[in-house]
Structures are given as structure tokens and as C-alpha cells.
Amino acid sequence: MIRVTENLRKIRDLLHKNALEHGRDPESVQLVAVSKKQPLSAVLEAAAAGQRDFGENLVQEGLEKIRAAGRDDLIWHFIGHLQSNKTRPVAGHFDWVHTIDREKTARRLNEQRPDDKPPLNVCIQVNVDDEASKAGVRPEEAVELAAYVARLDRLRLRGFMCIPEPKADSAAQRESFRAMRALLDEARGRALDVDTLSMGMSDDFAAAIAEGATHVRIGTAVFGPRR
């Protein structure tokens, strides 16, 4: 517990520092602790240290943790690729989905979101660097998909998400994140109610914060190596 608590303290301090350096309110940057392949005990340790937002990449693993944790105060983010045949359990148990990249997925999540739950928070995943190996819509298609999602009443469009190509240079990292910020501005220009840029991980969160990230997704630096 001490290890996770200390890791969280260090990460929060870094996020706070980077936000201030770029003239941002530190409260505008939310840490999503990526708990993929981590035991439930590690999640509960992080929760005891005040962490509330957790990211899972795999549907079944995430469902098992949500059920076993049995806590209504935790916020669960699905951040992995979502197959159409797995939308029902995600719609029923998660609070956020960051990886919508097609109308079919959005439509199924909307149809399968239980009536007794609030609208599901969703982001459009953008393949910002046009990598053949990665999911996500092309940047020029992102706002159109966002406009479609905004019309679905059981979903709440929040913004955009990306996993850029790894770059060692901070300036190159910022270029990709700047393109994401431009998409958010374009969506707002079309009267879409968006407020979220889910971008930045352990190696590039500083560049992401500089360009407006609202949610950074960090795993190993919080929990240590995956089990």
C-alpha cells in the first residue's frame, strides 16, 4: 500500500507541476490509473489513497474488477479496442468509453445502456498519426463521427482520445497533441458540447498537458510492472 500511495503522490505532483508550468489549473487534469493486468488489491490500495478513476483495456478483466470491488464511488473507464460483440457488458458496467471509432459501436452502446444509469460518457478515438497498426478514425473523419454520437440519447459525447506514435522529442509529441486540440476546437465550432482530450501516457504526459489534455492515462508509474 505504501508503494502505490507513494507512486500516486509522485504522479500527482508531476501533473500539478506540469499544469502550472503551462498556465493551467491543475484541477483540469484528471489522472486515469490504468489497472490492466493489475490485481484487485492494487486497485483497492490506489482507491484507499484517493484515486477514483481507473482504466481497463480488456472487457472481462474489467468486469471482474468492477464486480469484486463493489464500490459505487469508483469511476471505470474502458480504454481498449471494443469489439461489437462486447458492447453490452461495457454499456452496462462502465462509466466511460474512450475508444469509439465507428457508428456501429456507438449505436450498440446507446441501445444497450441501461435506462437506470446515466448516459455513458464517450470519446472518439482518433488515429492521429495515421498508423496502420492502430485503431481510431482518421482526423478528418473525427468530427463527423462526433456529431453522429452527439445525437444518441444514451451516450454523452465528451471529446476525443488518441494514442500517438511514440516520439522521443517533446516538440514532435506536442505536434500530435496540438492536432487533437484543433479537433476539439473544430467540434466546438460546430456547436458540439465537448470538454475532453484523453491523451498522454507515462512517456508523453507533459507534452499532452501542454496542449490541453484533460485526462492522462498512466499505469506502470502508479502500480509498477504488470503482474
- The tens digit of pLDDT for each residue in 23-73 reads 999 999 999 999 999 999 999 999 999 999 999 999 999 999 999 999 999
Residue 99 CB-density burial (10 A; 0-12 exposed, 13-18 middle, 19+ buried) = buried
Check residue 132 and give its pLDDT: 84
Number of other CB atoms surrounding residue 124 within 10 Å: 32
Sign of CA dihedral 176, 177, 181, 183: positive
Instruction: Say how far apart CA 223 and CA 100 lie, in whole Å.
Output: 26
How many angstroms from the chain centroid is the CA of residue 74? 15
Mean residue pLDDT of the chain comes to 96
Structural domains in the chain, CATH included, are: 2-223 (3.20.20.10)
Give phi and psi for 95, each to the nearest 5.
-100, -30
| Enclosing H/E stretch for 19 | helix 2-21
Instruction: Say how far apart CA 140 and CA 128 lie, in whole Å.
Output: 10
- Measured CA distances, 222 to 77, 158, 172 (Å): 16, 25, 25
pLDDT digits (tens, 9 = 90+) for 138-192: 999 999 999 999 999 999 999 999 999 999 899 999 999 999 999 999 999 999 9
| 226 pLDDT higher than 80 | no
